[in-house]
Amino acid sequence: MSKSTSQAKRAILDAQASWAAGKPGIEDGYFATPKMNMPWLTDGIRGEIAEGDGGEFSEKASKAKIAALHSSSALGVNFFGYWHGRDWPELAEVLEISQPLGNPRFERKFPTGIGPKSPNLDIVLSGAKELVAIESKFTEWLGMSGRKPLRETYLADKDGLWKRVGLPMAQRVAETYLEGPGFSMLDVPQLLKHLLGLATQNSSGNWRLKLVWFGPPSDAALEMKEEISRFRNMLGRESSRFSDVTYQDLWAALKPKLGKRHPEYVAYLSARYFPQ
């Protein structure tokens, strides 16, 4: 891990620790219960996440993963889960999603045909004519060097799995990545599998994949943006299927549209994730 990467990660962790200081039920960076980490966690949202493969509520290590201050799943629930059961036209507007709208869904699986597990999308937002699948990142993109490469199983099909579903450029990216990754922050194999799963399960073609990542100003964030730009360029014409936005930029666009509505939501996110 480079110095800039470790500094950026430490800054995020320190900010979360500072926000949590003095709050009841916090110990070693974990809340005593997931609910304390996510004020609007409902039974419905909990059930959706529990069906995923991440084991977020497992307490094998005495504390549930999703109860951690640095939990990416908790960030996703705190940002998007609030809108479960509420109207969210402002969020739809900044994400360019058509209305009417369905509830945000969590940890939805989109099988690729390569088992045994299917890729899990962190958040899925549906509009009248389209589906926007979100891959959410908090600190995971900082220190990616140990991540597993794309398994050769995905390239064993002589006709090409991505080609079969109308993504020949993604097929080329997959083949290029196998020869030599060249990415130290962006999880390209994960994004490729998400693209494959979405294309496989949505024959209508009305879908988009969006990477929403927590990127406070830093040299590391600039490096991440460069890798994302390079990935989009590699996708060529298929880059219309993929976009990204930082949580910071998304919040800057969303917050003014909320005005004085949803004060609890605005106050919580502003204090915890986006302090002035």
Tens digit of each residue's pLDDT, the chain (276 residues): 688 899 999 999 999 999 999 999 999 999 999 999 999 999 999 999 999 888 899 766 678 999 999 999 999 999 999 999 999 999 999 999 998 999 999 999 999 988 777 889 999 999 988 999 999 999 999 976 555 678 888 888 888 999 999 999 999 999 988 776 688 899 999 999 999 999 999 877 899 999 999 999 999 999 999 999 999 999 999 999 999 999 999 999 999 999 999 999 999 999 999 998
In whole angstroms, give the CA distance from residue 63 to residue 37: 12
231 phi, psi to nearest 5 deg: -65, -45
**Model pTM score:** 0.95
The enclosing H or E element of 258 equals helix 247-258
Token pair 């879908």 is at which residue? Answer: 207
Query: Look-up: residue for tokens 């549930």?
Result: 64
Q: How far is residue 181 CA from its own chain's centroid?
A: 21
* The 242-246 sheet, strands edge to edge: 105-109, 120-126, 131-137, 207-213, 242-246
Q: How far apart are CA 173 and CA 231, in angstroms?
A: 8
C-beta of residue 149 within 8 angstroms of C-beta of residue 177: yes
Cβ proximity of 176 and 234 under 8 Å: yes
Is the separation of the CB atoms in 144 and 165 below 8 Å?
no
| CB contact at 8 A, 19 and 11 | no
245: Cα within 13 Å, side-chain hemisphere: 15
Q: How many CB atoms lie within 10 A of CB 217?
A: 11
